[in-house]
């Protein structure tokens, strides 16, 4: 009889515990979850508002603006309300882009017409004059986006030093020369943002891309140093490293003898849309991120593999080189 009573008591206590837990779950956990969701949503809203305020009316200089990622960056930054200075070697292409922007939906709320500055980054003699012209447009520069670049395909043993120098001039020396020329005005204002469009190949090196990978590794190193040196001056530095983008980069790549590659690589053809990448660039700049990798899972893992298991990474790259060399000889 006593056992029966004891069993009933235990059952009642168990039911009571379940009831208490149900009560806590319904009256405490659910509101807590709703509160967390609300706080997160508010944070995201404030982040978007802050980003819009940061970019609206900001003077944004974009190099390599006539095609590919640079062209799409021009569109998204224009839509965000930035005052643009578009740079490139082809004046006709720059004029065509400004007409396209003027005819876009963004032009209905955008009050600033873009300026264009035509110059060649590989010609050091034009940098000083181009810098003066850029500063004359709006009186200062808030954001410099170093986007212009050239790709390369070829074996090291076949590549002339002229080709190595040409790639470095376009991808490294040109951008840092323009950055150095505009930097004093940013330091004087204690305000500015320098953006380098690098590549995943600035973090890992692929076979038959030596000149390109070397230029992007140099870019990563330079702007990492710059970030540390100008932080006390209130200047932001962002390095963005995309993987393959579906642009004409591989078509216009230089080969070992300096000729045009003229082939759309399979990986490039399957790459991300430049429109999507441009939006990611806009977000990275607006959020003032320092270092951003825009790549799928495998390339991103390769970056860590290079550091954590270098022997395995080198073996994989050697295997890739053998396969690529075999496909070219077949």
Check if 212 is active-site: yes
Q: Is 199 left (phi over 0), alpha (psi -120 to 50) or beta?
A: beta
- Matching residue, tokens 């390095």: 239
Question: Is residue 61 classed as helix, strand or coil in its secondary structure?
Answer: strand
Q: Tell which residue, 283, 278, 249, 279, has the closest CA to residue 265.
A: 249
Q: CA 169 to CA 149: how far, in whole Å?
A: 9
Q: Tell which residue, 178, 101, 191, has the closest CA to residue 140.
A: 191
From residue 88, alpha-carbon distances to 85, 97, 103, 178, 237 in Å are 10, 11, 21, 13, 22
Question: Is residue 140 classed as helix, strand or coil in its secondary structure?
Answer: coil
From residue 302, alpha-carbon distances to 7, 213, 221 in Å are 61, 15, 19
Q: CA 330 to CA 327: how far, in whole Å?
A: 5
Report the interhelical angle of 161-168 vs 210-230 (nearest 10°): 30
Find the catalytic residue in 54, 115, 152, 212: 212
Q: Which residues are catalytic?
A: 212
């Amino acid at each position: 009889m006593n056992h029966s009573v004891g069993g009933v008591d235990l059952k009642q206590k168990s039911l009571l515990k379940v009831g208490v837990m149900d009560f806590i779950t319904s009256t405490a956990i659910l509101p807590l979850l709703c509160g967390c969701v609300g706080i997160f949503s508010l944070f995201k809203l404030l982040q978007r508002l802050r980003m819009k305020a940061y970019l609206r009316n900001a003077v944004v200089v974009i190099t390599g603006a006539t095609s590919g990622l640079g062209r799409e960056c021009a569109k998204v930054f224009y839509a965000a309300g930035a005052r643009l200075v578009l740079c490139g070697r082809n004046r006709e292409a720059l004029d065509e882009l400004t007409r396209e922007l003027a005819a876009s939906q963004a032009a209905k709320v955008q009050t600033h017409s873009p300026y264009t500055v035509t110059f060649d980054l590989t010609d050091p003699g034009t940098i000083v004059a181009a810098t003066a012209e850029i500063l004359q447009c709006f009186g200062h520069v808030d954001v410099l986006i170093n986007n212009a670049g050239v790709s390369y395909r070829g074996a090291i043993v076949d590549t002339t030093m002229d080709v190595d120098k040409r790639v470095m001039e376009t991808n490294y020396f040109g951008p840092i020369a323009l950055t150095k020329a505009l930097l004093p005005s940013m330091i004087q204002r204690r305000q500015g943002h320098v953006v380098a469009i690098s590549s995943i190949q600035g973090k890992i090196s692929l076979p038959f891309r030596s000149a390109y990978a070397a230029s992007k590794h140099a870019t990563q190193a330079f702007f990492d140093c710059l970030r540390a040196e100008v932080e006390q001056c209130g200047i932001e530095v962002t390095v963005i490293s995309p993987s393959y983008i579906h642009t004409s980069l591989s078509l216009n790549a230089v080969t070992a003898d300096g000729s045009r590659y003229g082939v759309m690589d399979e990986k490039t053809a399957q790459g991300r849309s430049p429109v999507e990448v441009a939006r990611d660039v806009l977000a990275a700049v607006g959020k003032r991120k320092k270092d951003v990798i825009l790549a799928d899972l495998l390339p991103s893992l390769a970056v860590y593999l290079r550091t954590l298991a270098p022997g395995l990474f080198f073996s994989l790259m050697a295997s890739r080189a053998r396969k690529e060399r075999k496909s070219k000889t077949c």
